[in-house]
Structure 1
Amino acid sequence: MNNANVLMVDEKYQSYPEGIRDKLLSLRRLVIDVSKKIDLPAQVQETLNANEPSFVVDGGSPIRIDWKSQTPNQYAMYFQCKTKLVDTFKELYDDTFRFDDDKGIVFTVDDDIATRELAHCISLSLRYHQIKHLPLLGV
């Protein structure tokens, strides 16, 4: 990632309200930690997509995280809606997470995030093109 992109991403995180920033930075750390623990063809790159922090890797499906001022007590992790990802997450973790239709997982500021389950969702997204042909993404 070039220096200008790093600055833009860092500025985006700094633009969030402090409590939300901490929550989003925790999600960011989780994506990076998961990416280091699984076999990926390349390193995950962080960039801005639609002015939202986005994580992309060859062979994977992008992950975005964001907060919207219209819903100040919520933040979310978004996945490509044209994939089987969110439908699979609903099948696996409907009792664990709240979903925004087929777009992503929504958290409130008071949530205790099920980190192990979310890490699994992140792993599936980062490996999506390798596993998309498998029933239930190979789970």
Structure 2
Amino acid sequence: MDRIYPPFQTPDVQAAFAAFPKTARPGLLALRRLIFDVAEEAQGVGPLAETLKWGQPAYLTPVTKSGSTLRLGTPKSGGIALYAHCQTTLISDFRSAFPETFAYEGNRAVLLAEDAPISDGPLRLLIAAALTYHL
């Protein structure tokens, strides 16, 4: 897992990525990169903190408190997942806008196949909405 950009913020997060199944790692790293890219471009987000929550890589906006936490993981059903806080409307709003584009796990996750292309389209909108949820 060399040449990860941006570098992992903690050894614990790096270990969490190393522990993911080898087949899931590229997609999760692509989601991670997209989260950092969106945070850099979104107005009012500020620096991201990368930490672990429930053993999963989590992304927070501790300086501005503009956003709701996003997490990355591998669901029991397989594939990869982008998790949002289940008490927000993030996933339900996203599902309303893109009902057929993705699979969903209740109000908590967008589910993707391990080999799904991580595009700059709809997922960028979800990430931006999460990182600016409290603005």
Q: TM-score scaled by structure 1?
A: 0.83
Equivalent in the alignment of 1:120: 125
The CA deviation string for residues 10-58 of structure 1, in whole angstroms up to 9 with x for no partner, is 0111111222111111110000001001112421111000000000011
Query: Which residue number in structure 2 is paired with residue 62 of structure 1?
Result: 69
Q: Deviations over 1:46-81 (max 9, x none)?
A: 10000000000112000000014x43x411000011
Matched ranges for 1:1-139 at <5 A: 6-57=10-61, 58-68=65-75, 70-71=76-77, 73-130=78-135
- Rg larger in 1 or in 2? 1
Distance 1:75 1:85, change over 3 A: same
Between the two structures, name the one with larger relative contact order (CA 8 Å, sep ≥ 6). 2
Distance 1:89 1:29 in 2: 20
Q: Extract unaligned runs of 5+ from structure 1.
A: 131-139
The CA RMSD measured in Å over matched residues stands at: 1.4
Distance change in 2, residues 1:82/1:29 (3 Å) = same
Contact 2:68 2:132 in 1 (8 A): yes
Tell me the number of residue pairs that the alignment of Structure 1 and Structure 2 aligns.
124
Among all aligned residue pairs of Structure 1 and Structure 2, give the percentage whose two residues are the same amino acid.
27
Are 1:62 and 1:79, in contact at CA under 8 Å, matched by a contact in 2?
A: yes
Q: Please, which runs of 5 or more residues in structure 2 have no aligned partner?
A: 1-8
Return the structure number with greater helix share.
Answer: 1
